[in-house]
Amino acid sequence: MAGRRLHFYLAGINDENFIMRDRETGSWWQQVSGRAIAGPLRGARLRLLSSEEISFGLWRREYPWGTVLAPLAADRKHYVRAGWVQRYHKYPVVVPLPQGPLKGRTLVVGVTLAGQSVAYPYAQVASEGLILDRLGGKPILIALGPDRRSVRVFVRGEQGLPPEASFFKELAPATRAATASAKPAAKPASGTAALPSRPGATPRAGATVASAAALPPPAKPNAPPARPGKPGAKTPRPFTLAPWNMIDAATGSRWNFRGCAVDGKEKGRCLPILPSLTEDWFNWHRYRPQSRIWSIGLRR
Amino acid sequence: MRRASLWLLILLALAEAFIAGYPVWVLRPFISQPPRSLALAMALRNIGAWATLPGLAVIAVCAVALLRPRRRDADGGASISRRRRRRATAIAATAGLLLGGLAAWIANVDYFQWLFHPDHDVRAVAIAQAQWPAGAMVLDVNFGGQARAYPIRELGYYHVVNDRLGGEPIVATY
């Protein structure tokens, strides 16, 4: 911050979002906005780095050279346990929230671009898999990843693509076969990038591709916020990384979850990734009250 | 003089309790913080660390004066009602001293860190050394040519991790 290195610590709660202080000036900072709300640096804002919530299995495939925060043995017993999200979501929302289609603790994927914000209910992103929308005058794309739990948002219609480039999800070979023959997929296709399942999960023959490729039933906007396979879910889905590609209708090129074209005319090009925040609806709305809510009925 | 000392001690102890206790009450989870209450709580936390110390010193002086035995008590010359009043004064002085001391202590510690210990030894390891299951969610930051994953189960406890990435100081929060 302005050539000064600050060290932060947890200092309190403001409307269910924590506030932190820096040891150097004693200023108070709101976590969700990165803005100093009191103290000598009041009004300053920390530079937000691009980050995303993603499964460890997917992340280590994309960044095999990356590093991971090491756990501290002394604190290991305190780390949040499986099911903490479900327990947390039992608490009532105390922040004023206008009547609307979403409950306060509905999990949403929030995106802001050019001063406009939109919240995509996580359950709908999970059921749709791929959502095409417009935000801040630009066409965007929201995609559920090959692990069926990570979400990324891209700007489509750049990199030489038509302004309204349309994308659709490529069906996995096993799903195509199952759709054609109306028989359950039997065996994962060769080359499936499946990582080891979480300890305790029971792998099933053919489940790697079939379960990941099959769409779950449509979810209600207020469905419980448990993500597929989220730690603590009652019946955790075995972790798999299914083959995942989307195809742009204009050129027929295939694009991976990093937003890069892997073949076709656009091969080598990458779509810009937009920062997104997976958050409770009440918290997203508290700091972006003008945010609209995406729903299937309003899909473009 | 003793009566004035007693009232000064009581008032200062209550003031100390307010300076230290109001932020604890307001900045707690699962309630809504009105802007004025939040501003007052933060202001009291700002001044509490030093403002409670002179008050505690005055409380201590008053308490010593009030608790010191008087010659007439030692000689057994005081009436029963006077002795009772002295005992009540001694209890009030002790309670005020304890309350003032407790308030000054709370005002000078980061009590949130009792519940959520800060990570004092932030280190990163290569993926091969990380023991997390593939399905565990992480917060991933890609900056300055480096990529780092912060497991949510760790970050959900620490909430704030001061780190360095790509040669820059960063803070990961959750």
| Chain A residue with minimum CA distance to B39 | A38
Average pLDDT over all residues of chain B: 91
Place of tokens 């600050």: A6
**Among the ranges given (A110-114, A175-179, A180-184), the one the predictor scored with the smallest mean pLDDT:** A180-184
Domain-embedded: residue B120: no
Domain limit, last residue, from B55, B80, B110: B110
Pair A165, A26 in one domain: no
Residue A213 in this model has a pLDDT that exceeds 70: no
Domain limit, last residue, from B110, B143, B165: B110
Mean pLDDT in residue range A133-153 = 93
Q: Which pLDDT band, with edges at 50, 70 and 90, does A231 fall under?
A: very low
The tokens describing A152, both together, are: 């990324």
CA distance A193 to chain B (A): 13
Range of the domain at A13: 8-38
Nearest to A54 among B131, B140, B169 (CB): B140
Which one, of B150, B152, B160, lies nearest residue B120 by Cα?
Answer: B160
Mean pLDDT in residue range B36-43 = 97
Domain count, chain B: 2
Q: Which pLDDT band, with edges at 50, 70 and 90, does B157 fall under?
A: very high
Pair B105, B166 in one domain: no
Domain-embedded: residue A300: yes
Burial (0-12, 13-18, 19+ Cβ within 10 Å), B115? exposed
Q: Which pLDDT band, with edges at 50, 70 and 90, does A173 fall under?
A: low
User: CA B172 → CA A20, A34, A52, A218, A259, distances in Å?
Assistant: 12, 11, 11, 34, 25
Pair B22, B85 in one domain: yes
Domain-embedded: residue A174: yes
Domain-embedded: residue B78: yes
Contacts with A20 from chain B: Cβ below 8 Å: 159-160, 171, 173
Residue A88 in this model has a pLDDT that exceeds 90: no
* High-pLDDT (> 90) share of chain B, %: 71
CA distance A245 to chain B (A): 20
Residue A53 contacts B, CB cutoff 8 Å: yes
pLDDT at A221: 42
Count of CA atoms in the C-beta half-sphere (13 A) of A261: 22
Mean pLDDT in residue range A28-51 = 93
A contact residues 266-285, partner B, Cβ 8 Å cutoff: none
Domain-embedded: residue B119: no
Mean pLDDT in residue range A182-194 = 34
Pair A98, A245 in one domain: yes
What is the rounded CA–CA span in Å between residue B50 and residue B38? 20
CA distance A31 to chain B (A): 7
Report pLDDT digits (tens) over A263-297.
988 898 899 999 999 999 999 998 899 999 998 76
Backbone torsions φ then ψ of A40, nearest 5 degrees = -60, -30
Residue A190 in this model has a pLDDT that exceeds 50: no
Domain count, chain A: 2
Residue A227 in this model has a pLDDT that exceeds 50: no
The tokens describing A38, both together, are: 């009191």
pLDDT at A83: 72
Please name every residue paired with A108 in a beta bridge, in sequence order, or none if there are none: A121, A279
Pair A33, A93 in one domain: no
Residue A181 in this model has a pLDDT that exceeds 70: no
Average pLDDT over all residues of chain A: 78
Pair B106, B64 in one domain: yes
Residues 6+ apart with CB under 8 A from A92: B30
| Inter-residue contact A167 to A255 (CB < 8 Å) | yes
Residue A249 in this model has a pLDDT that exceeds 90: no
Range of the domain at B141: 127-173
The tokens describing A140, both together, are: 């965007």
| Inter-residue contact B13 to B59 (CB < 8 Å) | yes
What is the ipTM score, two decimals? 0.89
Pair B95, B152 in one domain: no
What is the identity of the amino acid at A284? W
Residue A193 in this model has a pLDDT that exceeds 60: no
